[in-house]
Amino acid sequence: MIVEDKEGLRLDSYLSEELDISRSKVQKLIKDEKVLVNGKTVNSSYSVKINDFIEVNDELDYEIKVDPENIPLNIVYEDDDLLIINKESGMVVHPAPGHYTGTLVNALLYRYKDLAGDKFRPGIVHRLDKDTSGLMLVAKNEFTLEKLSLMISKKEVERKYLAIVDGVIQNDSGEIDAPIGRDKNNRQKMAVTDQNAKEAITHFKVLERFNNNTLIECILDTGRTHQIRVHMAYIGYPVCNDPLYGKGKDSFGQMLHSYSIKLNHPRTGKELKYTVDAQKEFNNKLEELRNNL
């Protein structure tokens, strides 16, 4: 299943990023009809969609095995259809080059044997960056996976974030409406750009101001890769400790926490709303900033 922030990418670009192989090699596989989307051959320029099922012929010169691992998880809510997990900073969500163990997916596979979705992202409908902590949804079956993916694309899942940013924001609130795409000079980064970009809208509200920092709440209209980090850096207030878009990181990483999630249950319609406190490192940073006023 395609996660929200990847929808609309060209098929060759999507597979190149996901499998960490060259785009030209992906294009050859597609041309040789070794890639199927929903059981059919397509062109390299095909735009991937959320519920697409992509099969790649196993003749690639790499092999990734995702093993179950007994890794502790902080489960905030669970029923037969879904999980809400409070992810710790430092945990990678799904396996990728350089991170084949210790991920959220490894932990999920240990606990649940029949999660829906592909073998690299079973149950994953959206993700948080490695060093971003907080609430995440996980689908436990095909029905929930498809429903949650659709709900996220229709903006029916409300996610709120806390962030400590560098600099003092003078406006009490604001909206950042700036398209985000892959940084042409560094494929590990995203950037505000008008080339191969998608709409991205972030709303922020100032909660506290300090000498050289600001605590803000962010709500996303869209869910692009690194969206808050890119947008805040774009307006001159990068997330504190951000190694890609800010001044660098200490041992904890960027001060960004998904603290609230609200949605109607995809099967029952019952409202689910949960909030979680940030990790001690985030709160220690806040205490330090308050003490220095």
Q: Provide the b/e sequence for 213-223 (b: ≥16 CB within 10 Å).
A: bbbbbbbbebb
Q: Rounded to whole angstroms, how far apart are CA atoms 101 and 172?
A: 42
Locus of tokens 């012929």: 57
Q: Which residues contact 25 (CB under 8 A, 6 or more apart)?
A: none
Bridge partners, 36 (sequence order): 55
Which listed residue (5, 58, 80, 129) is catalytic? 129
135 and 84 Cβ atoms separated by less than 8 Å:
yes
Residue 149, SS3? Answer: helix
Bridge partners, 156 (sequence order): none
Question: Is 129 considered catalytic here?
Answer: yes
Handedness of CA 289, 290, 291, 293 (dihedral sign): positive
CA distances from 32 to 26, 27, 63 (A): 10, 9, 20
In 232-293 the beta strands, taken as DSSP E runs, fall at: 256-264, 271-275
Q: Rounded to whole angstroms, how far apart are CA atoms 75 and 87?
A: 9
For residue 45, which phi and psi values (nearest 5 degrees)? -85, 0
Q: Which positions are catalytic?
A: 129
